[in-house]
Structure 1
Amino acid sequence: MSEGEMTEAEPAAQGGQLTVVTTTTDGIRVLALSGEIDYHTGDILRQALQVSGTPRPRIVADMRQVTFMDSSGINILINAHNTLSEAGGWLRLAATSEPVMRTITLVGIDSFIDCRETLRQALGN
């Protein structure tokens, strides 16, 4: 294997990228996610979903630019949902892309994590 071939294989082994932009709207933390949620990027999402010392924490994850999510992402969302619920808060998913929503529906987490079609709907009551 030549040196060039090794370099080309490295990005695939590292997985896709995930970026998170955090804002606050009416006391609700909004996480605008972009990229892939998998084993390699899960810690980024896990850290963004952490809450400490916030009474009744409310988080909306804007999923419109998430192109892929595997079981790592599912587990992170379930754990965040449980943690937020125990603290008297909630987690909502907004504008989830069709491929990611298919995974969410298949696993069944849409039965207990509130999924809204738009960010505006997720920020409402």
Structure 2
Amino acid sequence: MTDTHGAQRPGRLSIDRSSVNGVRVVALRGEIDHDVKDVLSTALLPRDGQDGARLVVDLSGVTFMDSSGINVFIAAHRAQAGPPGRLRFAGVREPVLRIIEIVGLDSLIPCHPTVEEAVLA
């Protein structure tokens, strides 16, 4: 399933959802800011009747993220069923990784170089 929220505007966020070995994978492309926080929340938070225990967010296509994204990811982490830390990041680019590290989000949500490694973690 693909959401194209804002796809007609360069840099806006697009969202692709898939499943790999029973793990939900949400691939993001574009910018994460205040304008897209609600659609991002909808994409990441478990739906009614959906197991939210395992989620990988592929950030390899994200070029910018502000505090709105940080807040959404913290909420998504808290919403995961089962043991803490079942949310994983994959493919985080250097500018976004720097933000994640500065605020300490990487200590809460592990970062992996690839989706495959994040799924197996």
Any stretches of 5+ residues in structure 1 without a counterpart? 1-13
Question: Is 2:1 aligned against 1:26?
Answer: no
- 1:67 is aligned to 63
Please give the TM-score of this superposition, normalised by the length of structure 2.
0.84
- In structure 2, give the amino acid aligned to 1:109: L
Structure 2: where are the runs of 5+ without partners?
A: 1-8
Alignment identity in percent?
45
How many equivalent pairs are there? 110
Cα separation, 2, equivalents of 1:15 and 1:118: 25
Residue 12 (structure 2) pairs with residue 17 (structure 1)? yes
Q: What value does the CA root-mean-square deviation take over the aligned residues?
A: 1.7
**Rg larger in structure:** 1
- Identify the structure with the greater helix proportion: 1
SS at match of 1:17: coil
* TM-score w.r.t. length of structure 1: 0.82
Whole-angstrom distance in 1 between the partners of 2:36 and 2:96: 15
Partner of 1:97: 93
Task: Show CA shifts across 1:27-82 (max 9, x none).
Answer: 11111100000000111210101213234521100000100000000000001001
Structure 2 counterpart of 1:122: 118
